[in-house]
Amino acid sequence: MITRNFQSSSPLHLESGKVLENFTVAYTTYGELNSDHSNVIWAVHALTGDGQVADWWSGLVGENALYNFSSHFIICANLLGSSYGSTNALSENPATGTPFYYEFPTLSTRDLAQSLEMLRQHLKIEQIHTLIGGSLGGQVALEWAYTLGEKLEHAIIIASTAKTSPWVIGFNEAQRMAIAADSSWGQEHRDAGKKGLEAARAIAMLSYRNPSDINTKQQEKEEKIDGFLAASYLRYQGSKLAKRFQAFSYWTLTKAMDSHDIGRGRGGVELALKSIQARVLSVGVNSDLLFLADETRFLSQAVPSGSYGEIVSTAGHDAFLIEFPQLTSLIEEFYRS
């Protein structure tokens, strides 16, 4: 594993009309390029992930996994706005010499895809065998697949959509409201909104899981009137995230997710999807309450060369981070077809 920083010498012109004059993208690579550079696997992480894909997707990327280090050259970059090395709201604003904080510009999934394209060009990678991502990572991957054209052979989009639904935007707004309700939000320090982030994560976990999963795993074994397992579980998940992530990044990336619409300025979703040249596998989760399986299935129906597979799980949206045997089987079948 090698982790490096790409410092762009060119500005990134954002959809908002603003410009990041210079920016950094932290990225991690595993394995080595083969002689004809045909073994590039590019993964895109989800909302609170990072570039070390072998850690959080260990059942898919690893020494003995489908994407192993001896056969593949695997890349995963930390998305702009995130907390793990790439330019974000706590980075220095070159115009002021102090952190951006609340002046950090709004990013779209298209902006995030463009920053990855600039990294690809910097690395002189001419062909990507497989671009793969789930949730927000799937949205960014889909945007990038549109612009990559014939430079991309396969796109695997998991538990994701062509356009963010009002349902998802509503969940994200409720989470940002929780952050904004924190009395420290608005202050200029790195821990601003930390308690609000804990509450935001608790809200998010209810959308990442399926009711049947929570009802089973957090079922009480004794009668009580307080101190319920489900409440403790959500508080634990909120505290756990706040120790490794920051509210500024959460705000930035949920806003990016809200922005996602592959058809914006391109004649609509269906016309945009028809322009994707890569073979596409879209993978839904039967119990996903956030990005519905039908929304994910639509991707495979709208692109010129698409296939659909479905993970069967009680885990809900997060099944794409858990159900590795099913996911591996679906991808292997896609490659064989």
List phi, psi (to 5°) of 312: -100, 115
Q: Are 305 and 279 in contact (CB under 8 A)?
A: yes
Residue-level pLDDT at 79: 98
99, β-bridge pairs: 92
Query: CATH code at 330?
Result: 3.40.50.1820
Sequence-distant (≥ 6) Cβ neighbours of residue 190 within 8 angstroms: 90, 99, 246, 248
Q: Are 282 and 300 in contact (CB under 8 A)?
A: yes
116 in the same domain as 34: yes
Beta strands at 24-30 and 2-7: parallel, antiparallel or unpaired: antiparallel
Rounded Cα gap, residues 191 and 135, in angstroms: 26
159 in the same domain as 304: yes
Among residues 108, 288, 313, 318, which one is catalytic? Answer: 288
70 in the same domain as 148: yes
Residue-level pLDDT at 131: 99
What is the per-residue pLDDT across 101-116, written as a single tens digit (0 to 9) for each? 999 999 999 999 999 9
Residue-level pLDDT at 162: 98
DSSP 3-state of 15: coil
91 in the same domain as 236: no
Residues of the chain with confidence (pLDDT) below 70: none
For residue 154, indicate whether it is catalytic.
no
User: Which amino acid, one-letter code, is at 161?
Assistant: T
Number of domains in the chain: 2
Other CB atoms within 10 A of residue 188 CB: 11
For residue 135, indicate whether it is catalytic.
yes
Among residues 108, 135, 160, 282, which one is catalytic? Answer: 135
155 in the same domain as 32: yes
* Residue at a domain's end among 226, 256, 286: 256
What is the CA 219 to chain-centroid distance, rounded? Answer: 30
* Residue at a domain's end among 197, 224, 256: 256
User: Which amino acid, one-letter code, is at 249?
Assistant: S
Q: Specify the pTM.
A: 0.98
62 in the same domain as 109: yes
324 in the same domain as 208: no
Among residues 287, 313, 317, 318, which one is catalytic? Answer: 317
Its domain, for residue 98, covers 2-163+261-336
Buried (b) or exposed (e) across 309-335, using 16+ Cβ within 10 A?
A: bbbebbbbbbbbbebbebbeebbeebe
* Residue at a domain's end among 197, 222, 256: 256
125 in the same domain as 27: yes
20 in the same domain as 133: yes
Query: CATH code at 211?
Result: 1.10.1740.110
User: Which amino acid, one-letter code, is at 131?
Assistant: L
Residue-level pLDDT at 88: 98
Radius of gyration of the chain (CA): 20
For residue 10, indicate whether it is catalytic.
no
11 in the same domain as 129: yes
Residue-level pLDDT at 20: 96
143 in the same domain as 126: yes
149 in the same domain as 49: yes
Rounded Cα gap, residues 41 and 25, in angstroms: 18
Torsion angle (degrees, nearest 10) of CA 313, 318, 321, 324 = 0
